[in-house]
Amino acid sequence: MKKNYFAAAFLLAATLSSTAARAQADFRPGYIMRPAGDTVRGDIDYRGAHRGGQQCLFRPAAGATATWLPAQLRGYGLASGEHFISQLTPMPAVAPVAAAPRQLFLEVLADGPASLLLWRDETGQEHFYVQKMGAPLPTELVQVRQRVLEGNISREQVLPVFRGTLTEQFADCPAVLLSMSKTEYKASALVAAVERYNACREPNRLAKVHQSRTATDLEIVVGGQASRTMFTTPTADATLPAGLAPEVGVALQLGRRVLRQKLAVRAELHYARQVAEGSYQQQEYQPGGGLTITQHYDLRFTTAYLRVPVLIRYTMPGKKLRPFVEVGGSFNYAITIDPQVRSTASNGTSTDWYTLFSNQQFLANSFRNYEFGLLAGVGLQLPAGLAGHTISLLGRAERSDGFMRVVSYSTPVVRGSVLVSFDLTKAR
């Protein structure tokens, strides 16, 4: 039954995650800006940058959810930092010549005398635009990739057309043009280029950069842990299961939302104490008598660990439930290691409990107080939680290298945990 514990826990969590993944709504605190200039706060259903560029699904604090198109709003934003404006936008350079400009919601990456704007098309391709203050339309920043044939060898050629565009746009600030030849075609580099121009035009003006804020969360984690220790010697193997025991900890999560998902790094500190018990037997030769007897060994390993898991967590969107997966490693420090053994021989002799290897001087110092492990988990996040605090239910599995330092002896441990975490910060 204990062997099926981990599988049952993960099967349940995976089933719940699959069900929750179908709930596509991803309402997050935000606001809309109406044509009259007033701002209305509520929740934005943000399901990705492409969809967010086409329409805005808004749920006010009081009232029904409504869909707004770019022509109906001045813009909208999320409390996490993203801001979108309604803008008549030239179609990408790869579009047909006859394609007319469209009204879209463009994400504002930097704002000032020049703005850097972003739109993602239906394929997920990023299109960057720069717009000078007072210009009727933004100008697309283009980087062209093409295949060229040199002899019999085909290679990719990259044409940074966007650098010429920026040079033309920023010609009134020669000081910023010196670094243009090194500017890369990525959001961070383009934001930096626009910020330099804005600082040149208005030196005393604070830069306005609209990007996802990194969120830090402090959580309390409680639950239970079961484990299985595999004790391997040169002549025998034993499995020592440990039943469900309390596990408590704290977690610090540092993350930001990426498109529809939230990517986070977690560092945690856990404490758990477990007693693993098992047995094995082997044939042993008795010197002097020429006899072979069957020796039965009972094992009882008592351990208490401070564990420090470090994980990467990937959270999917959901209205009421948000499934997530996580992977990482763990450094575990043993506060207590007490491996006890007793033996009973087929000739009737027996011993009381004694510390493993205490009767073998060359193995007496075989234990170490640390171990390393790899772990993975799945779970569900309840954003509404309790009084605005997020609650998560998760299952984890870990395999560590154990507390033995002798090559011919090993004690790898497989652990399974079912945990509930409570976020001490308010849900965002």
How is the chain split into domains, by residue range?
A: 2-10+213-426, 25-201
226 versus 146: the higher-pLDDT residue is: 226
Is residue 207 very low, low, confident or very high in pLDDT (cuts 50, 70, 90)?
low
Average confidence score pLDDT of the chain: 84
- What pLDDT was estimated at residue 63? 78
- What pLDDT was estimated at residue 22? 41
Percent of the chain with pLDDT over 90: 49
b/e code 233-245 from CB counts within 10 Å (16+ = b): eeeeebbbbbebe
**pLDDT higher than threshold 90 for residue 93:** no
Taking Cα atoms as reference points, which of 381, 366, 371, 362 lies closest to residue 419?
Answer: 381
pLDDT tens digit string along 123-175?
A: 768 899 999 998 989 999 999 888 888 878 888 888 999 999 999 999 999 98
235 versus 259: the higher-pLDDT residue is: 235
CA distance linking residue 112 with residue 107, whole number of Å: 14
Global confidence as pTM: 0.58
- Give the list of residues 6+ apart from residue 324 with CB closer than 8 angstroms, or none: 17, 313, 314, 315, 316, 378, 379, 380, 381, 392, 394
**pLDDT higher than threshold 50 for residue 16:** no
- Give the list of residues 6+ apart from residue 147 with CB closer than 8 angstroms, or none: 154, 155, 156, 157
Is residue 17 very low, low, confident or very high in pLDDT (cuts 50, 70, 90)?
very low
| pLDDT (mean) for 319-324 | 82
- What pLDDT was estimated at residue 296? 93
- What pLDDT was estimated at residue 194? 93
- What pLDDT was estimated at residue 319? 61
